[in-house]
Amino acid sequence: NAGVTQTPKFQVLKTGQSMTLQCAQDMNHEYMSWYRQDPGMGLRLIHYSVGAGITDQGEVPNGYNVSRSTTEDFPLRLLSAAPSQTSVYFCASSPSRANTEAFFGQGTRLTVV
Amino acid sequence: AQKITQTQPGMFVQEKEAVTLDCTYDTSDPSYGLFWYKQPSSGEMIFLIYQGSYDQQNATEGRYSLNFQKARKSANLVISASQLGDSAMYFCAMREGISWGKLQFGAGTQVVVTP
């Protein structure tokens, strides 16, 4: 079982560059989310999606774009990378049933220099 | 406003002892779910236990149990018989109402288990 797959695992960007973090799940989950984790803090929600074609902003959406054209994929785009976006990024998916947990990818460690 | 509060940034526990990790939450929605995740030094997020707001009994999963006190809005995690492999960061998280795709996390508690 692949579960939630994130690529790449590590990335270094220069300030101003753009890139896309990939996230794919093979569990046919309706919900997918992106979080960032900074030192000393819990995970903070960037964007989420409740189904293909539907996305919404989370707590810290600035500087990031998402789209969801298929149930399986939920890429996160950094439009113009800034050092403040240095973080570990997690993608998660969950079914719409109330009493089920979110399944997380392995994370992407991003450094912006 | 912070919706999930974990007041213990770090704690040490001896092997084979029990440890309680505190979590308080804030919501006005009658329907919510509470989760605990473990994050070892390798970085992955591992689901431990879930408690629904309408569940009558405290959740248990092996050595993990959740002490759910609804009126006090607390959802403390109890790890019994600690093992060295329990050393990790532990996060409490909440889902509110119909927003089941969104989790709100606390800042976490770092647990170190000593021999």
**pLDDT tens digit sequence for B49-69:** 999 999 999 999 999 999 999
Mean of per-residue pLDDT scores for chain A: 94
The whole-number pLDDT of residue A97 equals 75
The whole-number pLDDT of residue A96 equals 80
pLDDT beneath 50, residues of chain B: none
The whole-number pLDDT of residue A94 equals 92
| Min distance B100 CA to chain A CA atoms (Å) | 7
Which amino acid is present at B56?
Answer: Q
| Min distance B44 CA to chain A CA atoms (Å) | 5
pLDDT beneath 50, residues of chain A: none
Report which of A47, A45, A13, A50 is spatially closest to residue A30, judged by C-alpha positions: A50
The whole-number pLDDT of residue B1 equals 65
The whole-number pLDDT of residue A98 equals 67
The whole-number pLDDT of residue A38 equals 94
Best mutation target, A99, A106, A108, to test chain B (most B CBs within 10 A): A99
Closest residue, chain B, to A58 (C-alpha)? B102
Instruction: Kindly tell me the burial class for residue A15, based on how many C-beta atoms sit within 10 Å of its own C-beta (0-12, 13-18, 19 or more).
Output: exposed
Residue found by looking up tokens 């505190």 in the block = B22
Tokens of B107: 């800042």
Q: How far apart are CA A42 and CA B6, in angstroms?
A: 10
The whole-number pLDDT of residue B55 equals 92
| Min distance B70 CA to chain A CA atoms (Å) | 17
Best mutation target, B23, B103, B104, B110, to test chain A (most A CBs within 10 A): B103
Residue B86, SS3?
helix
CB–CB contact A50 B101 (8 Å): yes
What percent of chain B is helix, strand and coil (3-state, nearest 5)?
5, 50, 45
Asked if B54 reaches chain A (Cβ–Cβ under 8 Å), the answer is no
Query: Which residues of chain A does B93 touch, with a Cβ-Cβ cutoff of 8 Å?
Result: 42-43
Contact A16, A6 (CB under 8 A): no
Query: Which residues of chain B does A41 touch, with a Cβ-Cβ cutoff of 8 Å?
Result: 107-108
Residue A113: CB atoms within 10 Å: 10
Query: Which residues of chain B does A42 touch, with a Cβ-Cβ cutoff of 8 Å?
Result: 4, 6, 91, 93, 105-108
